[in-house]
């Protein structure tokens, strides 16, 4: 174990470079959230970075001493993929080793003391690539744990490394929903498994087979938990190890049409046949609660399970409402807390006394933490206890305060402690103060404004991000960035895909507006997008742009560019065919939609069915149907502004043909254009080398057309 202070080591090597380049942003450290041990002595978090010189990444675990604030390297072993605090002492851990001695594609579990990791002992091997470890110590001293992996339809865990390869690659489907995100669906589905580790006080051994609680709960569809691309946030184990809770899509409904979830409770030593739904549709006192659910969590007392659920049965962006189920009561006596609060929280943590639930919710461009007492009635309005940033994770410390990890536009990770009353008592870490690539970034790089528009009673917000060395008496070309979703928002958070400061430091003032559909300003603003893709948000962007044009004298709108991904790419294509298209010197569409007709080539049909106010088969392709009215293709004769197109082959949300269609039409129409496509990327560009090419080529294009560069060509 190394004890050298990481912060010191990095500081000494700081070069005096201020503007952040794509290379610096992409190679800089990336941090997980910091998880404290049960006594609050220290917290562990992972770090990884990348060298463009060697093409290699490095990753390790850090240990943050919560008393002194010292940060040291805990281990550089890349074998350790997960750690949970469980066992006789507050420093006892069990970790997942992502490999095992058999080398069969499975994993192994080890027990250790976090203060003497070198003495770790092997508990046992599991013959499949399980992850998502949750574990508690029972009264007997045994440890009960949960993990998940894919399972065959017969319930046996699936291990790709051992599976035989069929001679044909054909895929056959009888019902829709054949692929999701970047993966074609197969018969193997995620399942939560429970296991027992016998032997208290360190001499542990795996006892018996793991129990699959999920596979076989089937009706119209079969249960899957965690759901598809989700993770261990979809299940939990009670503090005494006696009970398991997990959620799955409602098995009485077809998967492609509905987002409804059912949460099941099952005895730890039970089977799928013992699984009882908490929130089957219509079974609670909340008949409207029909939609997607998330985050079932046992209270520390074990008496309650808190979770979120939306109302809309085919909507993924409805308001999350917080519910609490009584584990011991007949029918679980589900009650809601702060039912009418006009925010949509998406993560939760119980207070130690089980009387308060801390939730994090999008709020005015930040993701803030709010305590909600169990006594909260429908009209209770929670008060935030954090302010800037977007929360990545938060945990209750023994003194009842929270250890919060978040990020901001100017820092990739801050770690601090805050009391339940909102007083920040200790700031442990600020990445922008220690990471060489982030040097010079700070809150002064960012501002915001509210503008009035003709679609909402409330004013709408936009972020301003200034370039390095910003001088208000000079002018800088506008970089106008449109967000995806459309339900979603531009937040005060760090991004490695759309990092506003990296764009600004090319020499732009970045304006990132939050128009109709944005989350964090109440559900009405979010919901107003339905059936209105080409009207409300477009009008809002016009208003935001006009505000900038008339108010922010340091912004050179005449040489501005616009860029967006996903819905933002759709909007860019819409802008290209409308008046606003002529206000920009260049446009960038990343994985957008070119023909709304093709939206039915997407995977999550409920999304289109909701956003375009009904399925295509009902709406048809005629005037008055949102599929028709908001189709960018109808305006192809107006296209004129130089346009950079990115579309990736593994994008099944918006298939690559959308980008090719856009590029083909731009080229046949004589509009300067360029196509960039990655065969190994999905809706996002994640590989750092690919991302560097993405940044380099897009910046060449926009810097040429905005006049920032003196290059003689945009290539």
Ligand X SMILES: *[C@@H]1O[C@H](CO)[C@@H](O)[C@H](O)[C@H]1NC(C)=O
551 binds ligand X (CB under 6 A): no
Active-site annotation holder among 238, 518, 566, 706? 566
Per-residue burial over 146-172, b if 16 or more Cβ lie within 10 Å, else e, is bbbbbbbeebebbbeeeeeeeeeeeee
Shortest approach of ligand X to residue 507 CB, angstroms? 8
90 binds ligand X (CB under 6 A): no
* Candidate list 230, 333, 354, 475; residue touching ligand X; CB under 6 A: 333
Measured distance CA(711)–CA(715) in Å, rounded: 9
Tell me whether residue 43 or residue 324 sits nearer to ligand X (CB atom).
Answer: 324
Active-site annotation holder among 182, 556, 651, 706? 651
Tell me whether residue 158 or residue 663 sits nearer to ligand X (CB atom).
Answer: 158
CA 95 to chain centre: 24
647 is catalytic: no
384 binds ligand X (CB under 6 A): yes
User: Tokens 């909402």 correspond to what residue?
Assistant: 456
Sketch the per residue contact string, 429 through 458, with ligand X: x for CB under 6 A, - otherwise. -------------------------x----
Residue pair 33/24 in contact by the 8 Å Cβ criterion: no
User: Tokens 């070309």 correspond to what residue?
Assistant: 477
* Phi and psi angles of residue 94, each rounded to the nearest 5 degrees, phi first: -125, 135
Tell me whether residue 131 or residue 156 sits nearer to ligand X (CB atom).
Answer: 156
Residue of this chain nearest to ligand X (CB atom) = 422
Q: Would you tell me how many other CB atoms lie within 10 Å of the CB of residue 424?
A: 14
Active-site annotation holder among 144, 610, 683, 695? 683
Tell me whether residue 657 or residue 709 sits nearer to ligand X (CB atom).
Answer: 709
Q: What is the dihedral of CA 199, 205, 209, 210, to 10 degrees?
A: 80
Residue whose C-alpha is closest to residue 259's, from 93, 32, 487: 487
Measured distance CA(556)–CA(495) in Å, rounded: 25
Shortest approach of ligand X to residue 606 CB, angstroms? 9
End-to-end CA distance of the chain: 49
Q: DSSP string spanning 346-408?
A: -EEEE-TTSSEEEEEEEETTEEEEEEEETT--TT-----S--SSEEEEEEE-TTS-EEEEEEE
Choices 98-106, 185-193, 226-234, 688-696; region in contact with ligand X by CB under 6 A: 98-106
Tell me whether residue 96 or residue 512 sits nearer to ligand X (CB atom).
Answer: 96
Shortest approach of ligand X to residue 359 CB, angstroms? 14
Show the CA angle centred on residue 710, arms to residues 707 and 715, nearest 5°: 90
Residue whose C-alpha is closest to residue 8's, from 60, 72, 74: 72
Choices 74-82, 402-410, 425-433, 682-690; region in contact with ligand X by CB under 6 A: 74-82
Tell me whether residue 546 or residue 657 sits nearer to ligand X (CB atom).
Answer: 546
Tokens of 188: 């193997």
DSSP 3-state assignment of 75? Answer: strand
* Interacting residues with ligand X between 199 and 228 (CB under 6 A): 200-201, 219-220
Choices 99-107, 129-137, 188-196, 498-506; region in contact with ligand X by CB under 6 A: 99-107
Residue whose C-alpha is closest to residue 534's, from 511, 516, 561, 510: 516
673 is catalytic: no
* Candidate list 175, 447, 524, 551; residue touching ligand X; CB under 6 A: 524
363 is catalytic: no
Tell me whether residue 311 or residue 384 sits nearer to ligand X (CB atom).
Answer: 384
Tell me whether residue 70 or residue 326 sits nearer to ligand X (CB atom).
Answer: 326
* Candidate list 37, 386, 559, 599; residue touching ligand X; CB under 6 A: 386
Shortest approach of ligand X to residue 325 CB, angstroms? 10
Shortest approach of ligand X to residue 329 CB, angstroms? 5
The DSSP symbol for 653 reads S
* Candidate list 14, 17, 58, 205; residue touching ligand X; CB under 6 A: 58
Residue whose C-alpha is closest to residue 515's, from 588, 593, 463: 463
Residues that bind ligand X (CB under 6 A): 27, 49, 51, 58, 77, 79-80, 88, 97, 99-101, 108, 110, 120, 141, 152, 154, 156, 200-201, 219-220, 252, 254, 257, 326, 329, 333, 335, 342, 364, 384-387, 422, 454, 522, 524, 539, 542, 546, 549, 557, 583, 615, 617, 709-710
Active site residues: 566, 651, 683
């Amino acid at each position: 174990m190394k004890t050298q202070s990481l912060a010191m080591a990095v500081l000494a090597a700081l070069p005096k470079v201020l503007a952040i380049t794509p290379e610096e942003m992409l190679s800089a450290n990336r941090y997980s959230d910091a998880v404290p041990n049960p006594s609050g002595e220290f917290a562990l978090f992972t770090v990884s970075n990348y060298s463009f010189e060697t093409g290699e990444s490095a990753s390790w675990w850090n240990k943050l001493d919560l008393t002194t604030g010292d940060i040291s390297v805990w281990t550089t072993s890349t074998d350790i993929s997960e750690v949970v605090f469980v066992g006789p002492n507050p420093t006892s851990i069990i970790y997942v080793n992502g490999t095992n001695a058999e080398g069969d594609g499975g994993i192994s579990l080890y027990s250790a003391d976090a203060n003497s990791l070198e003495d770790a002992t092997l508990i046992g091997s599991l013959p499949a690539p399980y992850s998502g470890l949750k574990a508690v110590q029972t009264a007997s001293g045994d440890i009960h744990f949960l993990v998940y992996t894919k399972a065959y339809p017969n319930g046996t865990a699936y291990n790709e490394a051992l599976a035989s390869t069929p001679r044909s690659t054909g895929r056959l489907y009888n019902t829709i929903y054949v692929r999701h995100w970047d993966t074609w669906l197969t018969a193997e589905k995620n399942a939560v498994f429970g296991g027992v580790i016998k032997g208290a006080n360190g001499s542990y051994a795996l006892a018996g087979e793991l129990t699959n609680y999920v596979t076989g709960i089937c009706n119209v569809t079969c249960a899957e938990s965690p759901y598809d691309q989700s993770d261990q946030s979809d299940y939990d184990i009670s503090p005494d190890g006696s009970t398991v809770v997990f959620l799955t899509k409602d098995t009485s409904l077809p998967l492609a049409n509905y987002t409804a979830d059912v949460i099941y409770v099952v005895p730890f030593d039970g089977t799928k046949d013992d699984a009882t739904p908490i929130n089957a549709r219509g079974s609670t006192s909340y008949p409207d609660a029909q939609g997607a659910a998330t985050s079932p969590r046992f209270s520390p007392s074990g008496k309650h399970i808190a979770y979120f659920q939306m109302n809309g049965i085919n909507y993924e962006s409805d308001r999350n409402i917080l519910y609490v189920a009584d584990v011991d009561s007949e029918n679980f006596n589900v009650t809601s807390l702060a039912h009418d609060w006009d925010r949509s929280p998406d993560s939760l943590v119980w207070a130690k006394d089980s009387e308060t639930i801390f939730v994090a919710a999008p709020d005015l461009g930040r993701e803030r933490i709010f305590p909600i007492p169990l006594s909260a009635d429908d009209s209770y309005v929670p008060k935030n206890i954090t302010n800037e940033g977007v929360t990545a994770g938060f945990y209750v410390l023994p003194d009842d305060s929270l250890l919060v990890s978040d990020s901001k536009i100017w820092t990739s990770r801050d770690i601090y402690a805050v009391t339940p009353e909102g007083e920040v008592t200790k700031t442990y870490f600020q990445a922008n103060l220690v990471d060489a690539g982030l040097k010079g970034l700070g809150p002064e790089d960012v501002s915001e404004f509210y503008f009035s528009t003709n679609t909402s009673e409330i004013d709408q917000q936009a972020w301003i991000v200034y370039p390095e060395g910003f001088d208000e008496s000079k002018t800088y070309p506008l970089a106008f960035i449109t967000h995806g979703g459309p339900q979603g928002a531009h937040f005060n958070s760090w991004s490695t895909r759309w990092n506003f400061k990296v764009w600004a430091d090319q020499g732009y003032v970045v304006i990132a507006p939050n128009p109709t559909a944005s989350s964090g300003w109440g559900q009405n603003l979010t919901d107003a997008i339905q059936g209105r893709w080409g009207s409300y948000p477009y009008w809002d962007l016009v208003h935001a742009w006009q505000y900038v044009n008339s108010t922010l004298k340091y912004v050179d709108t005449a040489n501005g560019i616009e860029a967006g991904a996903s819905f933002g790419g759709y909007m860019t294509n819409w802008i290209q065919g409308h008046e606003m298209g002529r206000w920009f010197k260049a446009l960038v569409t990343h994985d957008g939609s070119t023909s709304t007709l093709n939206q039915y080539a997407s995977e999550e049909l409920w999304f289109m069915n909701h956003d375009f106010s009904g399925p295509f088969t009902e709406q048809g392709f005629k005037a008055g149907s949102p599929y028709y009215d908001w189709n960018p293709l109808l305006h192809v004769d107006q296209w004129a502004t130089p346009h950079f197109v990115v579309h990736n082959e593994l994008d099944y949300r918006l298939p690559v043909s959308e980008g090719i269609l856009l590029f083909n039409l731009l080229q046949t129409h004589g509009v300067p254009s360029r196509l960039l496509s990655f065969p190994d990327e999905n809706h996002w560009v994640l590989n750092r080398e690919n991302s560097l090419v993405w940044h380099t080529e897009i910046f060449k294009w926009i810097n040429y057309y905005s006049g920032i560069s003196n290059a003689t060509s945009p290539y």
